Amino acid sequence: MDAGLFTANNVWMMVCTALVFFMHMGFSFLEIGLTRQKNTINILFKNVFIICVGLLLYYIGGFNMMYPGDFNGYFGFAGFGIAAPENGMTPEYADGGYTWWTDFLFQGMFAATAATIVSGAVAERIKLVPFMVFTIIYVGLIYPIVGSWQWGGGFLSTLGGDDAGFHDFAGSTLVHSVGGWGALIAVYLLGSRIGKFGEDGRTKAIPGHNIPLAAGGVLILWLGWFGFNGGSVLSGDPEGTSLVLVTTCLAAAAGGVGAFLFSTILYKNFDLTMFLNGILGGLVGITAGADLMSPNEAVIIGFLAGIIIVLGVALIDRIKLDDPVGAIAVHLICGIWGTLAVGIFGAKAGGDQFLYQLAGVGAVALMCTISSFIILSVIKKTVGIRVSKEEELEGLDLHEHGMDAYADFRMNQH
């Protein structure tokens, strides 16, 4: 391979790495914007912790657990650390798409995302230390094992033979639903926030304190998805990257429009938060098959994801689960939809592929729900996972951190 092309490929992957890192700011802004100001410091602390510890865990063992080389298809481990192979900095590595170091850093940015999804769903009532313990186990162990089943050459990648298999281009299931399943179990075990569900059984809205910040967070996430999906081409290939960016953007736009139209029809108002979550739903929905879809198919997938978001949020409320930011509807429900859409639309559409996609969703669901339930149940029975009523009412910023995010603008928050 020409040295210039190798360098260009590697630079593109490094730019995508930076964009995926930037997504953590988007997640942070979205979460704090959709929750109350008395918990802002707590949410930011969790997100910063996830980035720092997630990268270190991926360095210590996650990368070599996710990409173990030859293994039994279910679990492998190539050793601690990230020592580069002899050809790791040459075009011989990864067909000249990037170097070993770039590979590690790009994949490491994905690893922390799974726990960030959980962070939003459990906001405003989870104890900080138990959440950190869960994050260490989930990001350090569960995420790389599940990732190895597909991206590391495991059993999902060869379902139906060497030329077939489950397809998840950039992680509708392997990233987003891994976080979504963890969030679902955590919300179930944690319980709802005080005042979310009244004694009459009706759901009560708990408004976020800064919707402009939430909107900024969503737009940052959309920008970050250029790296999330664009980098998953694993090179700077002009045709591949441009197609993926087109399908990604069209699905996002269609998701937003689908959600705002459907929610307006149902609720007779123009709900910005539904519009924003519809954009995210479209992004999550296209992530599994962004490389396989035509622009028309991307619009259909995104638009349906937007409708699914509205129905998903309503379903979560109906079954009395409290998800302050809509993370379960966005990342889990739309993650499942996007994964199954690969078997319905695009270059691999067909009955067998749909069954492979369904099998992948099921395998990840079993692994993540069981492991999350065990981890969180043990923590709950030993040190507990929920703050006291007093701490929740007064805010986690004061009780967990001893500070206020807006010290000069203290308001009555109860």
- HEC string for 317-384: HHCCCCCCCCHHHHHHHHHHHHHHHCCCCCCCCCHHHHHHHHHHHHHHHHHHHHHHHHHHHHHHHHCC
The reported pLDDT for the residue numbered 409 is 62
Structure tokens that stand for 313 in this block:
């949020």
**Mean pLDDT in residue range 339-351:** 94
Distance between CA 220 and CA 218 in Å, rounded? Answer: 5
Please provide the average confidence, as pLDDT, over all residues in the chain.
94
pLDDT at 360 over 90: yes
- The Cα–Cα gap between 149 and 407 comes to 47
Structural domains in the chain, CATH included, are 3-401 (1.10.3430.10)
How much of the chain, in percent, has pLDDT values that exceed 90?
90
Query: Helix (H, G, I), strand (E, B), or coil: what is residue 293?
Result: coil
Instruction: Check whether 388 has a pLDDT greater than 90.
Output: yes
Q: Residue 203's pLDDT is what?
A: 87
Per residue in 113-133, pLDDT tens? 888 999 999 999 999 999 999
Q: Are 327 and 309 in contact (CB under 8 A)?
A: no
Instruction: Return the number of other C-beta atoms located less than 10 Å from residue 89's C-beta.
Output: 15
Q: Answer yes or no: are the C-beta atoms of 178 and 361 closer than 8 Å.
A: no
More confident of the two residues 400 and 112: 400
CA distance 394 to 39: 9
pTM, entire model: 0.95
**Pick the residue with more confidence: 114 or 375?**
375
pLDDT per position as a tens digit, 264-277 = 999 999 999 999 99
Question: What's the pLDDT at 408?
Answer: 72
Judge contact between 252 and 283, C-beta under 8 A.
yes
Instruction: Give residue for tokens 């999350």.
Output: 372
**Is pLDDT at 413 greater than 50 in this prediction?**
no
C-alpha separations of 121 from 141, 151, 326 in Å: 21, 27, 7
Please give the pLDDT value at position 162: 65
